[in-house]
Amino acid sequence: MEILFLFGLLKNSECIFISLQIGDLQLCKLDELDCLIKGILYIDSVGFNGRSQCYYFENPADSEKCQKLPFDLKNPYPLLLVNIGSGVSILAVYSKDNYKRVTGTSLGGGTFFGLCCLLTGCTTFEEALEMASRGDSTKVDKLVRDIYGGDYERFGLPGWAVASSFGNMMSKEKREAVSKEDLARATLITITNNIGSIARMCALNENINQVVFVGNFLRINTIAMRLLAYALDYWSKGQLKALFSEHELSGNAPALAASYFLIPQETVRVILEPLEHSLSY
């Protein structure tokens, strides 16, 4: 019998091999990113309740006007895939068999949760998100208007734009005035602004206009998705939409790809999803 598994944490693969070398078991290790891409394309092809799997946010910065709208990914190539887990990997996908890792950043979901644990004392990812939903980041971040008194019109910078993440925390008086919720919100905005900026530069360099965000960081995390949508819209001057999936894909898509694309039909299939999928966020 063959057991297939997908690993984001490759350092543990030898332990799995040793623990499962019993009888006629044979382990087949599959590349996580190969399976992620194939799985996403498959999931989008079958749709979601009769409509597209992908969607985007219209007016993401306005709570009252924000709308979640379907996006038809019928022509998926080229595609920029931003996979947000503990860190971030950004892939340029030209076909189901032709892709490359463009770049990445160490500032991802693990950074958000780790900093929130340090700054707020929270113990779960859900608690960190709940705090962020109630916070005011402008008490923590230094804005353009804090430096120039308003918009910096010469360079097209609005007064509400972040000039320095956590910049107000240099002041003892301002540190004493912020809440844990404010710190959590500022942390989330710092992470999403950074990811959105990098994604926009990658899309520009690769001449790609479809950007899809996936990963465990986005599970139960609508607030981060809206912030990413806003960040990408801002950095691209409205030229790019941040696309998301109706289902969190970093764990499910690779397993589906292994089942439907990579395994002979006569093979007994037992899929072990990536270990990262079991993390608290």
Which residues have a catalytic role annotated? 32
What strand order describes the sheet that includes 26-31? Answer: 26-31, 2-7, 271-272
- Maximum distance among all Cα pairs of the chain, rounded to whole angstroms: 73
Q: Measured between alpha carbons, how far is 274 from 216 in angstroms, rounded to an integer? A: 11
Instruction: Output the CA–CA distances (angstroms, integers) from residue 265 to 2, 36, 43, 64, 194, in the order listed.
Output: 12, 20, 19, 49, 43
Q: Measured between alpha carbons, how far is 224 from 242 in angstroms, rounded to an integer? A: 11
10 Å CB burial of residue 69 (0-12, 13-18, 19+) is: exposed
Sign of the Cα pseudo-torsion (271, 46, 40, 226, in order): negative
Measured at the CA of 57, the angle between CA 56 and CA 61, to 5 degrees, comes to: 150
Label the pairing between strands 211-214 and 54-58. unpaired
Instruction: Output the CA–CA distances (angstroms, integers) from residue 208 to 109, 144, 214, in the order listed.
Output: 24, 30, 17
Q: Measured between alpha carbons, how far is 13 from 4 in angstroms, rounded to an integer? A: 12
